[in-house]
Chain A
């Protein structure tokens, strides 16, 4: 039809040209063929060879009739008319022929193209299909059939939706709708499909909408690719990735992975913690500034240049385990030690594609290690310095450790000797029992689990000296088994010799003590009888002197001159003085004789009583006294009373000549201990003679000034001495005297 129409319309074109040329003839004449040439060309172009030839004939006829002079006749007078018509027809033939050839060439070309296209479609490595807008396959290629697992016939007989997995159907439909609506003309999506066998696979579906000549939706071209394997691989990869993530997260070691450029592409939580970041996110933010945040030092303490850090080393192909770096945060100054293991990651061509570095915080480990080293050094120093022999044996009795003393004594230079060798070499003998069996030496027993302490053995050292040693041995336990034993020999030779000397001396000493004791006892008893004699027998002659002097005065008064009577008076005076001296001697002797009892004594109360007594005995005097309350000491009540009596008596006596006599009893701290202080404001004494003060019968005042025997302070001195205390005096002439007495457990407690 179309061909026929094209033929007719194109062959009738000369009629239109004829009409147009007649209208415009005044302007065109005399060019008879003016419009017919283009018409013939056009007709042959449009309608092909036949239309061209038809148009040529018709044009010739029309021009012959209407335009060649004379018009409207068939026969023309001019020969030129015939020539021009023939030429026109030749030209028409040529036009038609050329167009015929052109058309033919075009058609062949189109056919070849179509064939090629069809071949491409059929044999494409990807699945191809054409589909109508309402979802029916127009055509599918072989690959598409293979992918979908169905034959071409089967596919063409079913709507294409049926191959889509029901779960993915809705997105797919939506896509189709939107494409038809003109939102976009091509789209790629990954969707699941149902294989004929019922299995589910994955498709990469590229759909493009082909529009028809008017631009409306025509049909779809679908490029179908089976990506099931890729999807599975991806899934596998995802799973592996999850495992890797879990593994990294659970690791306490810091792990980081870099690419070939040294940029971190992976790190775990432990890595963030290791570098003192606040978690992974914080770490990720700051990782690029790593060299600005953290200083790195080599194991020798030198700053590590950037290219000596773990990642660059790994990227250079180095592999290391337990490389040590010290890290320090620049901001906080915190420093820690890391042990690094690293290696490069190589791709399948062996090229370095990145690095993996594992770090572990060994700060604590290092600290413990250092501590251990220090302890070992300390132990070694102690062992070396100790004069005692220290030996360690393994379970088989072989020496595994020996200090310098041990090597010296045993005369060996290296370890490994056997216990039994030492025993034989040093001639071990049980001290005091040389014939005793050596079966049960301390170390043997220690190796059986016993602990031995202080057993004595005699040995001869490597340099030939006989020594006595006190041995100690103890087992090492490991899991309930004895794995070795340590032995210590302490040289007690000197001690033993000293002990012997001492025990020899002790008997002698005992004898001497007994002897001296007897002597002392004798002396004491002599003293006793002397005192008794003084008390008893020395008085009788004095009494006789006094008595008979009196009798003489009474009975023979008339016979005596005044001088004689004076002489008798002197005899009486002397005897009284002598009697006083005897009393004093007795007093002194009593103060230091007898056993003492130690009880708490209230010195304040005692002083009060004594001063009251003195005041009663000497009512003429007005003496003010002040006594610190609650002064207590531990001692013999009679002796302390005597001491206080003497001191207070002195104070009373020597303050007799001052206008306002005062006596004070108190407690003072001097030389870091408390003293009882008895002070008066009396005449005092010259400290230059102070040393005489505490000696018997030594006086600092003449008899006429202050009568006395010179026995009181001597007595006080002895009493204080017997209590383990001290006595001292402070005075100056005319400025009173103070006597200080320290006593056991002296205190001034407030009386409750």
Chain B
């Protein structure tokens, strides 16, 4: 069985470092693919653009999606994922600094599987990332098409 990667969509390099470090701390075997804007994320998922003909599995185990992204915004990315039959069942976790109710509601309505706020204090942040990884990779049963 192939170990599916985690797709992290994050434009902030510091958050990227902190997230990766936190994931590493829990000793996950899954690789983490990082893209830095919405367009890249979509290209990766649909194997288009720079990711056309990329090797590896078609879809990641889950997507860790920031909302404030350059080029194509997070909510737009989410809408496109849910709008395409290939990615409709893909677990997407919105992971953002925003505490706005509108963002929370919009994310869930567009089909996000989970909405997690990035805490400012690092201890809390690390804990949340670790729990996310464990949950979505080990606890949660993935949708059938992801197999």
A543 and B119: CB pair below 8 A?
Answer: yes
CB interface residues, A 683-718, toward B, < 8 Å: none
CB interface residues, A 534-552, toward B, < 8 Å: 535-537, 539-544, 546-551
CB interface residues, B 57-112, toward A, < 8 Å: 67-68, 96-100
B18 and A543: CB pair below 8 A?
Answer: yes
- Known pairs A536-B67, A536-B68, A540-B14; A546 contacts B100 (CB<8 A): no
A576 at the interface (CB under 8 A from B): yes
- Known pairs A536-B68, A540-B15, A543-B14; A550 contacts B97 (CB<8 A): no
A543 and B68: CB pair below 8 A?
Answer: no
Using CB atoms, name the residue of chain A closest to B11. A540
| Complex Cα spacing A532 to B12, Å | 16
B100 and A550: CB pair below 8 A?
Answer: no
A540 contact set on B, CB distance < 8 A: 12, 14-15, 97, 118
Distance in Å: Cβ of A573 to nearest Cβ of chain B? 10
| Complex Cα spacing A547 to B120, Å | 8
- Known pairs A536-B67, A536-B68, A537-B68; A543 contacts B15 (CB<8 A): yes
B125 and A543: CB pair below 8 A?
Answer: yes
Using CB atoms, name the residue of chain A closest to B15. A540
A532 contact set on B, CB distance < 8 A: 98, 100
CB interface residues, A 412-449, toward B, < 8 Å: none
B120 and A535: CB pair below 8 A?
Answer: no
A547 and B98: CB pair below 8 A?
Answer: no
- Known pairs A536-B68, A540-B12; A547 contacts B97 (CB<8 A): no
A579 at the interface (CB under 8 A from B): yes
- Known pairs A536-B67, A551-B21; A543 contacts B98 (CB<8 A): no
| Complex Cα spacing A542 to B21, Å | 17
CB interface residues, A 516-571, toward B, < 8 Å: 532, 535-537, 539-544, 546-551
A546 and B97: CB pair below 8 A?
Answer: no
CB interface residues, A 568-594, toward B, < 8 Å: 572, 575-576, 578-579, 583, 586
A536 and B122: CB pair below 8 A?
Answer: no
- Known pairs A550-B122, A579-B120; A539 contacts B18 (CB<8 A): no
| Complex Cα spacing A126 to B118, Å | 158
A536 and B18: CB pair below 8 A?
Answer: no
Distance in Å: Cβ of A605 to nearest Cβ of chain B? 23
| Complex Cα spacing A547 to B22, Å | 10
Distance in Å: Cβ of A546 to nearest Cβ of chain B? 5
| Complex Cα spacing A535 to B122, Å | 17
Distance in Å: Cβ of B130 to nearest Cβ of chain A? 14
| Complex Cα spacing A575 to B125, Å | 14
| Complex Cα spacing A546 to B118, Å | 12
A578 contact set on B, CB distance < 8 A: 120
- Known pairs A536-B68, A540-B14; A547 contacts B100 (CB<8 A): no
In the complex, which range does the number of interface residues on chain B fall in? 20 to 34
A548 and B14: CB pair below 8 A?
Answer: yes
B97 contact set on A, CB distance < 8 A: 535-537, 539-540, 543
CB interface residues, A 82-104, toward B, < 8 Å: none
- Known pairs A542-B120, A547-B125, A576-B120; A535 contacts B100 (CB<8 A): yes
| Complex Cα spacing A535 to B103, Å | 11
The winner among A536, A542, A549, A583 for most chain B CB atoms within 10 A is A536
B121 and A576: CB pair below 8 A?
Answer: yes
| Complex Cα spacing A36 to B135, Å | 210
A572 contact set on B, CB distance < 8 A: 121
| Complex Cα spacing A583 to B97, Å | 12
A539 and B120: CB pair below 8 A?
Answer: yes
| Complex Cα spacing A464 to B121, Å | 86
Distance in Å: Cβ of B146 to nearest Cβ of chain A? 30
B100 contact set on A, CB distance < 8 A: 532, 535-536, 586
Of A542, A546, A586, the contact of B99 (CB 8 Å cutoff)? A586
The winner among A544, A549, A551, A583 for most chain B CB atoms within 10 A is A544
| Complex Cα spacing A542 to B15, Å | 11
B118 contact set on A, CB distance < 8 A: 539-540, 543
A544 contact set on B, CB distance < 8 A: 12, 14-15, 18
B98 contact set on A, CB distance < 8 A: 532, 535-536
| Complex Cα spacing A537 to B119, Å | 13
CB interface residues, A 27-67, toward B, < 8 Å: none
Using CB atoms, name the residue of chain A closest to B102. A532
A550 and B123: CB pair below 8 A?
Answer: yes
| Complex Cα spacing A551 to B125, Å | 12
| Complex Cα spacing A715 to B15, Å | 32
Distance in Å: Cβ of A536 to nearest Cβ of chain B? 4
Instruction: Write the B18-48 contact mask toward A (1 if CB under 8 angstroms, else 0).
Output: 1001000000000000000000000000000
Of A537, A541, A543, the contact of B122 (CB 8 Å cutoff)? A543
Distance in Å: Cβ of B45 to nearest Cβ of chain A? 23
| Complex Cα spacing A576 to B97, Å | 14
Distance in Å: Cβ of B66 to nearest Cβ of chain A? 9
A535 contact set on B, CB distance < 8 A: 97-100
A546 and B122: CB pair below 8 A?
Answer: yes
A543 contact set on B, CB distance < 8 A: 14-15, 18, 97, 118-122, 125
B21 contact set on A, CB distance < 8 A: 551
Using CB atoms, name the residue of chain B closest to A531. B100
| Complex Cα spacing A546 to B14, Å | 11
B99 contact set on A, CB distance < 8 A: 535, 583, 586
- Known pairs A537-B97, A539-B97, A540-B97; A547 contacts B68 (CB<8 A): no
B67 contact set on A, CB distance < 8 A: 536
A536 and B120: CB pair below 8 A?
Answer: no
A576 contact set on B, CB distance < 8 A: 120-121
Distance in Å: Cβ of A577 to nearest Cβ of chain B? 10
| Complex Cα spacing A632 to B67, Å | 41
| Complex Cα spacing A60 to B126, Å | 217
B96 contact set on A, CB distance < 8 A: 536
| Complex Cα spacing A575 to B97, Å | 14
| Complex Cα spacing A344 to B71, Å | 126
**Other CB < 8 Å A-B pairs besides A532-B98, A547-B18, A579-B121, 17 of them?**
A536-B68, A536-B96, A536-B97, A536-B100, A542-B120, A543-B14, A543-B18, A543-B118, A543-B125, A544-B15, A546-B122, A548-B18, A550-B122, A551-B122, A575-B121, A578-B120, A583-B99
20 pairs, CB–CB < 8 Å, chain A vs chain B = A532-B98, A536-B68, A536-B100, A537-B68, A543-B14, A543-B18, A543-B118, A543-B122, A544-B14, A546-B121, A547-B14, A547-B17, A547-B18, A547-B125, A548-B18, A550-B123, A551-B18, A572-B121, A576-B120, A586-B100
Q: Which 10 A-B pairs have the closest CB atoms?
A: A544-B14, A547-B122, A579-B120, A539-B97, A550-B122, A547-B18, A536-B98, A546-B122, A542-B120, A536-B97
